[in-house]
Amino acid sequence: MATRNPHLPTRVQPTVFSKTQILANLLSVDNDPASHARVLLLENGFRHRIGNHIASLPIANAKLKDFNTNPFVLLIYAQAKSYTKLSQLEVDILPAKLFSSMETSAGRMIEDVALPVYGWQSVPSGMHTANSALDGKRVQLPILQAATLKSGPRCLNDEMSENFADNVLSYGTMWLAENGASVLDFTYGVLYGTKQLSNKKDWHILRNIAEKLPAGQVVTPPSQRWDCAFNLGGHSATATVRIGKDWWDYLGGPLCLTELCAALIRACVVPGQVDQTGTVYTISDLASIVDWPAGHAPVNVGILQRSQIPWLFFLMRHFCDSIVN
């Protein structure tokens, strides 16, 4: 077993959301014309991209080869469900394909739609190019804000961590020159999750940067930190790991995550009836996640309907370690 790096952050505080604050943020978004307008821009972008993606999925007249199914997994699943007919299994294959296909495209969709709304540009990042580590950037001279974005908190392995560090060190000065900037602010950003959920391979990007530089160029090492500062080709530079809400706060301020979730719900969830009080879910803590906070007065906003509020709590749970009233 590999020895834990002594500089790896050990005091990782849990990210806790309160439903009361989530509802307060929703009211703030609803009452702010600029914030409300961003939600509508995001909603339209998401709806367009999602519609195109769904139209491309193998729903009608699909052949078995289109699903890339694993025969061993299929049989294990059939045993778990006590299936006796192939028609029972077939019903489950299509949703599984939809989930896996959406998983690969959802992150890119979020990047392409959200970044421009908050003043960033998407960066074409072909493999084995100078921009292969970049997904987005914003130039605020003299600073270049550059980011690579991953969909979840456990996407990296050791080799990838080292590759990201190498890219920053090899191409950072080129990124600055191409954008007329002199200060690099690099972010490894994760679209959902928390630092507690990270496998910490993201932190090793920072360790690799610090270890690959001459000691005199490391201004602030990443010991017990999620960032580091260094000199790169005579330029000041920082690298920071931002996961979940940290990333969205950085991108668009403290209401950015609420705007994002509200827009996704508006694009994807038609207002309608809600589950009845006392509904028993298979996921044991789902009822406590989505129920209305005890003692909280009704909230009336134009941006979401009452039946969509449980979806907001459900989405927000993916950006914290626990959710309380």
Q: Could you tell me the CATH number of the domain that includes residue 219?
A: 3.40.1560.10
Same domain, 154 and 215: yes
- The answer to whether residue 172 sits within a structural domain is yes
**Of 200, 230, 252, which residue sits at a domain end?**
252
- The answer to whether residue 107 sits within a structural domain is no
Q: What is the pTM of this model?
A: 0.90
Closest alpha carbon to 192 in 146, 228, 151: 151
**Of 208, 237, 252, which residue sits at a domain end?**
252
Same domain, 225 and 295: no
At 108-160, the pLDDT tens digits run 888 899 999 999 999 987 666 888 889 999 999 999 999 999 988 888 889 99
At 187-243, the pLDDT tens digits run 999 999 999 999 899 999 999 999 999 989 999 999 999 999 999 999 999 999 999
Looking at the DSSP bridge assignments, the partners of residue 16 are 322
Same domain, 267 and 223: no
Which residue, chain included where needed, has tokens 């519609």?
51
**Of 219, 252, 285, which residue sits at a domain end?**
252
Same domain, 245 and 123: yes
Domain count, the chain: 2
Same domain, 150 and 213: yes
DSSP for 142-190, written as a single string: TEEEEEEEESSTT---HHHHHHHHHHHHHHHHHHHHHHT-SEEEEEEEE
Q: To the nearest whole number, what is the mean pLDDT of the chain?
A: 91
Same domain, 133 and 189: yes
Same domain, 122 and 238: yes
Local confidence band at 265 (pLDDT 50, 70, 90 cut-offs): very high
- The answer to whether residue 125 sits within a structural domain is yes
Same domain, 248 and 260: no
What does the pLDDT read at residue 59? Answer: 62
Average pLDDT over residues 256-274: 94
CB 120 within 8 A of CB 138: yes
CB 145 within 8 A of CB 131: no
- The answer to whether residue 75 sits within a structural domain is no
Same domain, 206 and 304: no
How many beta carbons lie within 10 A of that of residue 61, not counting itself?
Answer: 6
Closest alpha carbon to 246 in 20, 12, 7, 6: 12
Question: Is the C-alpha dihedral spanning 24, 26, 28, 31 positive or negative?
Answer: negative
- The answer to whether residue 235 sits within a structural domain is yes
Question: Is the C-alpha dihedral spanning 142, 148, 149, 154 positive or negative?
Answer: negative
- The answer to whether residue 9 sits within a structural domain is no
At 45-88, the pLDDT tens digits run 999 888 776 666 656 667 888 777 888 888 999 999 999 999 99
- The answer to whether residue 39 sits within a structural domain is no
Is the previous residue joined to 298 through a cis bond, with omega within 30 degrees of 0? no
What does the pLDDT read at residue 156? Answer: 87
Same domain, 143 and 243: yes
pLDDT over threshold 80, residue 20: yes
Domain range enclosing 284: 256-324
Same domain, 214 and 260: no
Same domain, 143 and 219: yes
- The answer to whether residue 145 sits within a structural domain is yes
